Amino acid sequence: MNHVRPVCLLLALLTGCATPKSKPSTDEGNPFIVPAGSPRNVRIGFIQGYPLGSPSVPIMLLPGTVVQDKMVVVARDPRLNPSAILEITGQRGRIAVARIVRGQPQPKDEVVLPSTDLSERSQELAP
């Protein structure tokens, strides 16, 4: 009976695959650098269902999210393209109400704090 093959397979499963370690970046000590693969826009919630044509939309906030009146946020579609610029007008619990400034958000669009490039791209939306 040949026991080498099962033992080699077991060792391969237990040790996993070896991956080369990347070189440390010179920016590691900088607290303002976003780690690779991290989103640049902080997600605060999602657009909830609302009657189309309404000037305001409800946003279901993620747990622990704090928003303030007159805070400007951006809604974006699943492809991460901006769909609307919104201004927070009120909050009750985990639901915030926002006025649509530009564009037309769809239910389930995510709402994020805008980065500079996202703000610039969202200015191209229809008022």
Query: What is the tens place of the pLDDT at every residue in 18-60?
Result: 555 555 555 555 554 555 555 678 999 999 999 888 999 999 9
pLDDT value of residue 116: 84
Looking at per-residue pLDDT, the higher value among 55 and 12 belongs to 55
Is the CB of residue 82 less than 8 Å from the CB of residue 118?
Answer: yes
Q: What is the percent of the chain where pLDDT is above 90?
A: 54
Residue 122 has pLDDT above 70, yes or no: yes
Residue 108 has pLDDT above 60, yes or no: yes
Looking at per-residue pLDDT, the higher value among 1 and 75 belongs to 75
Q: Residue 112: how many CB atoms within 10 A of its CB? A: 20
pLDDT value of residue 32: 46
For the chain, give every domain's residue range: 40-127
Terminal CA-CA length for the chain = 77
Task: Kindly report whether the global pTM for this prediction surpasses the value 0.85.
Answer: no
Tell me the CATH number of domain 40-127, given options 1.10.3720.10, 3.40.50.970, 2.40.10.170, 3.40.190.10: 2.40.10.170
DSSP string covering 21-73 = PPPPPTTTT-TTPPPTT--SS-EEEEEPP--TT-SEEEEEEPTT----TT-EE
